[in-house]
Amino acid sequence: MTEMVYGALPSREREPVLPKWWTTVDKWTMTSILLLFGVGILLGLAASPPLAAKNGFEPFYYVKKQAIFGGAAMVAMVLTSMMSPQLVRRLAVIGFIVTLLATMMLPFFGTDFGKGAMRWYSLGFGSIQPSEFLKPGFVVVAAWLMAANEEINGPPGRMWSFLLMITIVVMLALQPDFGQACLILFGWSVMYFVSGASMILIGGILFSIYPAAQLAYSNSEHFARRIDGFLDRSLDPTTQIGYATNAIREGGLFGVGVGEGQVKWSLPDAHTDFIISVAAEEYGLILVMCIIALYATIVLRSYFRLMRERDAFIRLAGTGLVSIFGVQAMVNMGVAVRLLPSKGMTLPFVSYGGSSLIAGGIAVGMLLAFTRTRPQGEIGEILRGHVR
């Protein structure tokens, strides 16, 4: 009847998904990720052949696997970045529940591959580390809870997120995986601070770090060994840190030359945790500074775009994701130059590792989805409008 009187309502044409995505996504961040992955393949060509020969594989076996994992990660990143924040949140909640249960079951069905930490599931043809996928899911869930806390008659989301964070940190520390536990703690702390933190709770967390570290040192031989090695003034040149620091020193400004590095023959983790040492030895400080610049571009551009975001959930989730991403890169490089104790963290998108690459692709895809350009006023303009 309405159509007969007033005529049919004009149908609203939907803008095609791809053009809309391309005009709103942060191309600088995406390009930086692709360049980091390219650098990872380049360094893998130099770092992985010794390990492949040791394990009886063809020289570029690990490079081919990294290319496959990286291709899957890039696809996951692009597809996730096309989603709306609401869809990202729904899928992240489901993923978080699955990976949380998988992490809980590690003591019963997991394996340590002789590394002293129960972090992986062996699948026969490969392995998977659920804590890598747990991080982005936790960040999104925690951001959702904190944002809900700000609503009128909303739930005590901050407290729930705090209890969830403590549960996960303790669970990871018992593996032991203190590196991932610290990333979860750091990401939550940054989000909590941005959401309007209680300084009492922040102070309590800071004061609890020392007794928690003391407890871990007294009860975990794995943790104590790494701390003792870091604090020891004399650096044993036959340890992983010794080889890594010597390689960085030998590389100088321009490196010793492509394929001429020696650290890859001594370090068992040259293609993963200490990949930056291979970069510094063969290509010198020039390539290392380029890598640092790429990470800085991703972090700073994401922060600046999130500062203009009005939606509390998007702002908090994006801040948590980019903070964990940036700190993980900083810790990996800090360990290589002995500024930090060994953590066993990969360098995002550069180090070899299936779980790390694919989980990183999903996390950065979420970040790109949250930092896409949306029609909105800036927070400062809104506040000025309220003042008037």
Amino acid at 142: A
- 33 domain-assigned: yes
- 380 domain-assigned: no
Amino acid at 66: Q
Please state the separation of Cα 20 from the chain's center in Å.
27
Contact present, 165 and 142 (Cβ < 8 Å):
yes
pLDDT, tens digit, for every residue of 195-251? 887 777 777 877 887 787 788 778 777 677 777 777 776 666 667 778 888 888 888
3-class DSSP string for 61-107: HHHHHHHHHHHHHHHHHHHHHCCCHHHHHHHHHHHHHHHHHHHHCHH
Give counts: helices (H), strands (E), the chain. 17, 2
Please give the Cα distance from 362 to 365 (Å, whole number): 5
The H-or-E segment that residue 32 falls in is helix 27-47
Q: Into how many domains does the chain fold?
A: 1
Q: Which structural domain, as residue segments, surrounds residue 346?
A: 24-371
Q: Which two tokens stand for residue 17?
A: 């998904």
- 242 domain-assigned: yes
- 382 domain-assigned: no
Cα angle vertex 245, ends 240, 250, to 5°? 125
Q: Which two tokens stand for residue 227?
A: 């701390």
- 119 domain-assigned: yes
- pTM metric for this prediction: 0.88
Q: Which two tokens stand for residue 304?
A: 């600046």
**Of 8, 2, 26, nearest in space to 318 by CA:** 26
Please give the Cα distance from 179 to 129 (Å, whole number): 13
Q: Which two tokens stand for residue 179?
A: 């590196």
**Of 76, 330, 341, 87, nearest in space to 213 by CA:** 341
359-371 per-residue burial string, b: 16 or more CB within 10 A, e: under 16 = bbbbbbbbbbbbb
Contact present, 121 and 127 (Cβ < 8 Å):
yes
- 376 domain-assigned: no
- 385 domain-assigned: no
Tens place of pLDDT per residue across the chain (388 aa): 444 454 555 545 566 778 889 999 999 999 999 999 999 999 999 888 888 888 888 989 999 999 999 999 999 999 999 999 999 999 999 999 999 999 999 988 888 776 767 888 888 777 899 999 999 999 999 999 999 988 888 889 899 999 999 999 999 988 888 889 999 999 999 999 998 877 777 778 778 877 877 887 787 776 777 777 777 766 666 677 788 888 888 888 888 888 788 888 887 777 888 899 999 999 999 999 999 999 999 999 999 999 999 899 999 999 999 999 999 999 999 988 888 887 778 999 999 988 999 999 999 999 999 999 877 654 445 444 444 4
- 379 domain-assigned: no
